Chain A
Amino acid sequence: MSIFSYLLPKKQSTASVAKERLQIIVARERSTRGGPDYLPQLQEELLQVVRKYVPVDQDAVNIQLDRESGCEILELNITLPEGAQ
């Protein structure tokens, strides 16, 4: 590094880009860690039940497991298509 490099505008270092990307992906992966293995199958089977009555898409069912101070909350979200009766 010579004296001239101090005069050039500073670019964000690749190391800090790496750190930011890692912090985001690691946080996301930790949030799903330790969750029960049956969630994907639960989602699939719930979808089959719902489909018996309403035609819904594969991604219309959203399952999330949250943990809050000792209790677990299973959140289930099914988006029904418009006009479904």
Chain B
Amino acid sequence: MTKIVVVTSGKGGVGKTTTSAALATGLALRGFKTTVIDFDVGLRNLDLIMGCERRVVYDLVNVINGDANIKQALIKDKKVDNLFILPASQTRDKDALTQEGVEAVFNALRDDLQMDYIICDSPAGIEKGALMAAYFADEAVVVTNPEVSSVRDSDRMIGILASKTRHAEQGNGDIPARLLLTRYSAERVEKGEMLSVEDVQEILAIELLGVIPESQAVLNASNAGSPVILDTDSDAGQAYSDAVARFLGDQIPHRFITVNKKGLLGRLFGG
């Protein structure tokens, strides 16, 4: 049974592509046959984060238009087995993303290639690309920063997920949507400078999938074109591994959400 997962947020720059790359890689590492699709038509970037930008020949729109078949367009990851990337096109024609075309791509990935998971990296905004990425989804991961505009946009997106998916249109109700809070700084939360994970959860009222700490590892990973989850020594990499485990149903405690307490001397003399 193929599961389609949309990684979405509303707001741009919060970590959708980083999360899509990490989630897809994490699922593939656990043996699930996974394809990650870039839905950001016109602004292709997932290929860079996955480190396969020089191997792109065909893209999502080519497959939809019949210029290439799905097997020709899929890029097999070089580092991780079971992992495939379908890049976005660089043409600006967003109308190329038709509902029938996207459905045909999903059908091919499910029936011909027997994927276990299809991860849809949604573009920012609530335009056609974002709606198409979400329409066929069975599940959603809502990526949010602990910051007012991101939380508000996520709430908006949760509302759209509740009404604008095929699941909802067929009268089957909401798809499960879970929150991934990224760029979290426990230090700033403790100082009262940043919304806490409890604050964001209280406002958005959805289940928490994970908290990814603000980390230098994320930029290092995108510089190198290697998903951060492969950096197993880093805090962000470990947090993404935990999130993948929770995504698959494991119950594990959240890490990186509290500050390591300083001793009495440290507190007296500050720093």
> Using a CB–CB distance below 8 Å, which chain A residues touch chain B?
1-3, 5, 13-16, 18-19, 21-23, 25-26, 29-30, 33-34
Contacts and interface: CB of A to CB of B under 8 A. Distances in A.
If over half of A's interface residues share one DSSP class (helix, strand or loop), that class is named, otherwise mixed; here it is helix
A19 B267 CA distance: 27
Interface string B168-196: 00000000000000000000010111111
A21 B270 CA distance: 31
Contact of B156 (A2, A16, A29): A29
Contacts of B69: none
A59 to B, nearest CB: 25
Contact of A23 (B163, B203, B267): B203
A33 B158 CA distance: 11
Interface stretch (B77-85, B101-109, B147-155): B147-155
Contacts of A2: 268-270
Contact of B268 (A3, A15, A21, A22): A3
A1 B191 contact: yes
B192 A26 contact: no
Contacts, number: 53
B270 A29 contact: no
Contacts of B148: 18, 21-22
Contacts of A19: 195, 199, 202-203
A22 B152 contact: yes
A13 to B, nearest CB: 3
A5 B163 CA distance: 49
Interface residues of B, number: 23
Interface in B235-271: 267-270
Secondary structure call for the B interface: helix
Contacts of B194: 15
Nearest to A26: B155
A15 B152 contact: no
A56 to B, nearest CB: 33
Contacts of A30: 155, 159
A14 B147 CA distance: 11
Contacts of B159: 30, 33-34
Given A3-B268, A19-B203, A34-B163, A13 B151 contact: no
A14 B199 CA distance: 13
B195 A26 contact: no
Contacts of B189: 15
Contacts of A25: 152
Contact of B196 (A5, A15, A22, A34): A15
Contacts of B191: 1, 13
A28 to B, nearest CB: 11
A34 B191 CA distance: 38
A30 B194 CA distance: 24
Given A13-B192, A15-B195, A16-B192, 9 more contacts: A2-B268, A3-B269, A13-B193, A15-B192, A18-B195, A18-B199, A21-B148, A22-B152, A34-B159
